Structure 1
Amino acid sequence: MIGPHARDSIERIFFAAARTRLVTDSQHSCEIVPRAGEGPQGERLVVLTISSMQFRLLLLLHFEDDERTQRYYVGDATRELTECFMEFGNLCCGSMNQQLVEHFPDLGMSTPYALSSGCLPYLRELKPDYVQSYALTIDHDIRLGATLCVCTQAPIDFVASSTAIEAHDSAGELELF
């Protein structure tokens, strides 16, 4: 079971991470609105996981492999969009991890991997305690989606400090464990 304070805290942590880590320039906006339903919001998914002894949080980032998204995340480079987008997703998830570790010191983070959006309905097989989807608009042009999915092994409820979330804006440096 996930308590209401934990749901609110996870959402606020995600919003702050998305607004600072899913943009290519700190001056770009990232608008986030809750989305009804759990259907795909793009043909591709990047899946990232944060796990502890009490819960597993999956962050699924949805995107289209179209010219606008390609131009925004890849630019003129010869790399694949999925590869570049995984790096941004990893930064976003890492920022979330840094905030959650203050409440759950035993966290681990997975390597991002890509799936087809056709896999999204299988989330229910995990029997999640909390699932919420969001529509994201980056720099008024790029449309992404995000799904937060939390599976718990024990009841969790915590309150993440708003000032800590707002103040947390590191440069995305590499952490060694």
Structure 2
Amino acid sequence: MIGPQAQDSFERILFAAARTRLVTDPQHACEIASAPDDSAEGEHAVLLTISSMQFRLLLLLHIKDDEATRAYYLGEAEGVLADAFMEFGNLCCGAMNQHLLEYFPDLGMSTPYALDSQCLHYLRELKPDYLKSYALTIDGAVRLGATLCICTSSPLDFVADQLTEAQESTGELELF
């Protein structure tokens, strides 16, 4: 069971990470709205996990391989959109991980991997304690989806402080 304060804290941590790490320029806006839990905003999903002794957090970022998304994340470069986007997903998850380390010192984070977005329909099989999807619009043109799925092994509740500029990381490498 995840308490209401922890639910709010996980959501705020995700929003702060998305707004700073899923954009290619800090001046670009990232608007976030709730979406139906079974919606998938794109044909590809990038899956990242953060695990602790108390919980397992899965973050699925959904992308469409369309012209606006390719232009935003690839620019003029040739390449596979999912591969380029995995770096942004990794930065987003890393920012979440860094903030969560203040409350859970035993965290581990996976490397990102790409899945078909249809996997979203199977998240309920994990019997999550928290499952919520969001629609993200970046710079007014790029549409992404994000799904936060959290499974716990014991009751969990905490209050995350407000993020400040000083707490935001520049993406340095952490060794475990």
What band does the TM-score fall into relative to the shorter chain? Answer: over 0.9
Residues 147-176 of structure 1, C-alpha deviation per residue, up to 9 Å, x if partnerless? Answer: 0000000111000011xx133222112222
Structure 2 distance, partners of 1:39, 1:139, is 21
| Identical columns (%) | 69
Mean alpha-carbon deviation: is it higher for 139-148 or for 67-76?
Answer: 67-76
* Structure 2 residue 40 is matched with structure 1 residue 47: no
Residues 125-157 of structure 1, C-alpha deviation per residue, up to 9 Å, x if partnerless? Answer: 100000010000000000000000000001110
What value does the CA root-mean-square deviation take over the aligned residues? 0.9
2:110 matched residue in structure 1: 110
- Ranges in structure 2 where 5+ consecutive residues have no aligned partner: none
Query: What TM-score comes out, normalization by structure 2 length?
Result: 0.97
- Ranges in structure 1 where 5+ consecutive residues have no aligned partner: none
Say which SS state the counterpart of residue 89 (structure 1) adopts. helix
Structure 1 distance, partners of 2:170, 2:140, is 24
Query: What TM-score comes out, normalization by structure 1 length?
Result: 0.96
**Structure 1 moving runs of 4+ over 6 Å:** none
Contact 2:37–2:131 (8 Å) recurs in 1? no
* Structure 2 residue 13 is matched with structure 1 residue 16: no
* Structure 2 residue 164 is matched with structure 1 residue 166: yes
2:150 matched residue in structure 1: 150
Residues 96-116 of structure 1, C-alpha deviation per residue, up to 9 Å, x if partnerless? Answer: 000001111000000101111
Structure 1 distance, partners of 2:41, 2:118, is 11
Between the two proteins, the alignment pairs up a number of residues equal to 175
Contact 1:38–1:147 (8 Å) recurs in 2? no
Q: CA deviation at 1:67?
A: 1.3
1:34 matched residue in structure 2: 34
Residue correspondence of structure 1 range 76-91 to structure 2 within 5 A: 76-91=76-91
